[in-house]
Amino acid sequence: MRPDDLPRHLSEDDELPDDFGTRPGDTLTFGSGSYIRAVSANEAHRFMQRPDPEAVARAWAASAPQPVEALGGQSAPRGLGRLLPTGWRRGARQPAAIPAPIPSPAAVPAARLTIELVPATSWYHNVRALVDEQTWDRIRRKVYRQAGYRCELCGGRGPAHPVECHEVWRYDDQTRTQTLVGMIALCPACHQVKHLGLANVRGKGAEARAHLLRVNGWTPEQADAHIEQAFQVWERRSQGPWTLDLDGLRADVLGGEYPRIARLAAIPPERRDTIGS
C-alpha cells in the first residue's frame, strides 16, 4: 500500500487536509467529556458544512408549527427581534447600498442566542475536561439550581433533561487568552446552537438553525450572516494555541483543587493523558 493510500487518524490539533475523507478509514478525534471522541471522515467534513436551507425549512416546519407560542409558553414579546424595523425583517426595504448575496456582519442585530464555536486548538481545553467528574457534577448542579432548571436564554426546557451546563468563554485575539467568564444553564436546543459545528457533525445542523431563527426572531438571511461570521471567526481562532484563564473557576472549586486544575490546563490536551491527573 502506498503512503498516499493510508488512512489518516487526526486529532483536534491537526490541520484537516482538503482531501481528508477520501481514503477509507480517515478518522478525526476530538471532543471533551462525554462528547464525541472519534468521528468518521464524512462526519468530520460535516463539521464545516453550513446547514442545507431545505433541511432547515423542514426542521422549522416540523418543530415550530406555531412559532410564537413555541417560545417556551412565554407571553413576552419575541426578544430583540421586535426591535427590528419591520420592513427590514421582511427584506422589503433593505437599503440598496447593502450588498445582497453576503450580508455584512454588521447586518446581524444583537441577539439573545448566538453561536460560540470553540477554536479547534482549544478542544479539550474546558472546565469539563479539566475537573474530575464529581467536581463537574457539583458545578453543573449549582448552575442548574441557580437558573431554576430553565434555559437562561429562551426559558425553555428539554424533553429528556431540562438543561445543560454551558461554559462561556471570552477570547482576546491580541493576547490569545481564553478567559472563563462563567457557566450558564441552557436547554439542549440552545446548547446545540452554541456548538453548531458539533451539531453539523451529528446531523443536527438544520434543527439547530431553525432554533436559532425562532429564539432570535431572525430571518433566514440574518441567521445565515451570523453563521457565516461565526465560522469565519472560528477558522481564524483555530490557527493557533490559546492560553486559558481559569480565574473565574476559583469560586466553584475547593481551595486545594484550583492549583492542580491550573497546572493541568497549562499542559497541551494531547499530552495530558500521559502525565496523568
| Binding footprint of Zn ion on the chain (CB under 5 A) | 151, 153-154, 156, 187, 190
Residue pair 119/242 in contact (Cβ under 8 Å)? The answer is: yes
Going 225 to 227 to 231 to 233, the CA torsion angle's sign is positive
C-beta of 72: minimal distance to Zn ion in Å?
7
Q: Which is nearer to Zn ion, 45 or 211 (CB)?
A: 211
Q: Which is nearer to Zn ion, 39 or 147 (CB)?
A: 147
Q: Which is nearer to Zn ion, 226 or 237 (CB)?
A: 226
Q: Which is nearer to Zn ion, 147 or 151 (CB)?
A: 151
CA distance 270 to 277: 13
Q: Which is nearer to Zn ion, 11 or 74 (CB)?
A: 74
C-beta of 204: minimal distance to Zn ion in Å?
15
Q: Which is nearer to Zn ion, 183 or 190 (CB)?
A: 190
Closest CA to 219 of 87, 73, 98, 115: 87
C-beta of 215: minimal distance to Zn ion in Å?
7
C-beta of 261: minimal distance to Zn ion in Å?
28
C-beta of 14: minimal distance to Zn ion in Å?
33
C-beta of 155: minimal distance to Zn ion in Å?
7
